[in-house]
Structure 1
Amino acid sequence: MNQLNLNNYKQEIADLYTRRSERYDNSHWHWRIANHLVEYGQVSPGQQILDIATGTGHCAIAAAQLMGETGKVIGIDIAPGMIIQAQNKAKTLSLNNLEFLLADAENIDFPENHFDRIFCASAFIWMSDLVKSLLLWRKFLKPGGILGIQAFAETAFVGGVITQKILEKYGISYLMSQPTGTVEKCQYLLEKANFELIEIQVEQDGNYISLEEAQKMWAGTSHPAPGQYPHPLSKLSTEQLKQAKLEFENELKVLQTDQGIWNDITTFYIYGRKPINLLQNF
């Protein structure tokens, strides 16, 4: 497998997800999200489909199974471990219309006007430049082709929400899902990248988790920060970091109920069409 020439930010992401690759399928959660994204995306036999940041291939496999023997699905990811897992799954399922490639979603070169559908689940906020990425991906869509992206509301994941609140006191902006965190923000991003007929499905989701589980959501500096490099927490001194974590844990204790701590996971399924009228494509 060819090595990618990644910057430090992307190399950290690739390393993180390669470490997670063998356990990534232990949860059905990612599979369910990918299935919904593909299901709402109106996949049909014979289509050409690109799955960006494919991970272990959830969207790509769901699309390939819907298409039967016709058409072609390509899944790309920057994490070698993820690609290996995806390739093994495709082989086990005998899916011959499916290919997985090690590639950087912000530095890809496919034929223009080639794909009927492009999907990106659970990964859009990791892109360095959201609008630039959308414009690049749009180039590869056929006129009338559809882009489908899944993202989380800014209220999602209690650990991230509380981390943001604490870090604001230290003058630090920690983005997490904020760039895609509302329906209006998602609409704006796709409009800015010249997509039309934008539709956003909102799925309310969440569950109660224990205090211990919530405390494990502390960002720390060992986990890359989506869309931000160097890590925002690296601006804090060791003492400030220790204090911020203590404040984080205390905030969570306040949220505790008899059922646990509510962990919102409101999810957006965002779709936009590349204009059929070629004049709108510029």
Structure 2
Amino acid sequence: MEELKKATNNYDETLIIGQGGFGMVYRGFLLDNRIVAIKKSKIAEESQIEQFINESTNSYPMVHSFEYIYHESIASTISWETRLRIAAETTKALSYLHSAASLPIIHRDVKSSNILLDSNYTAEVSDFGASKLVPLDHTQIATLVQGTLGYLDPEYMQTSQLTEKSDVYSFGVVLIELITSEKALSFDRPERERSLASYFLSFFKNNRLFEVLEKHIASEGNVKQLKEVANLASRCLRLKGEDRPTMRDVTSELEGLRNIKKNSWVDGDSNSEETEVTC
């Protein structure tokens, strides 16, 4: 405990990088100069201990959360290639939970603050306090709705039936954050634009995609690639879960885009072709 206090300068508020349901996450500096994420519990009842353990990320080398890109001075320094890699690394982790774990796991709280980045912007999914194991003979489970406004699957909110596609919806919102550098929910925006998902889909359907993209990445020459990612995000955000791609499919598409040489995507005229909408 003493070492953790020293690592966080006695839990200095300026070192807070995120918050879970049962604890605050701090950037910590160990004696061997490693930078780690340290979660300090705020457990009030013994019954919450197991949930805190599920939620905890342990101490591993991480510098900041994905929300870091909201800062205007930072957003312009993160290239499209790096953003695409962050997205692919996140989906690999979620795809593993859904398809490769011995029992499928639904994260249930996929959001930008639960994606941690190290100094090289390598992504790692954290905070499993809300996650649910799915019995092998089930495709969905009935549960009290839990998650974060702005990321919550509308179908899950209406039916209380949690499926893997609920994570897909939430990741769709994260993907939009990556290409716009905007928050999923912001009361600083006009009322009609507070939900980033609705705001983005409105512009996307009306072939106004480049009005909402982060200006820096929109000028990097990856026009067709950006359209492909925007189209993928729109499919993740479909109202019916059965109409959304699986996380494995999302991973495959993102990896495919990463493997295509940048030069093959260059499209000098961003208005020369309409954006294909498949919502």
* TM-score, length-scaled by structure 2: 0.21
> Taking CA–CA contacts closer than 8 Å with sequence separation of 6 or more, which of the two structures ends up with the larger relative contact order?
1
Larger strand share, 1 or 2: 1
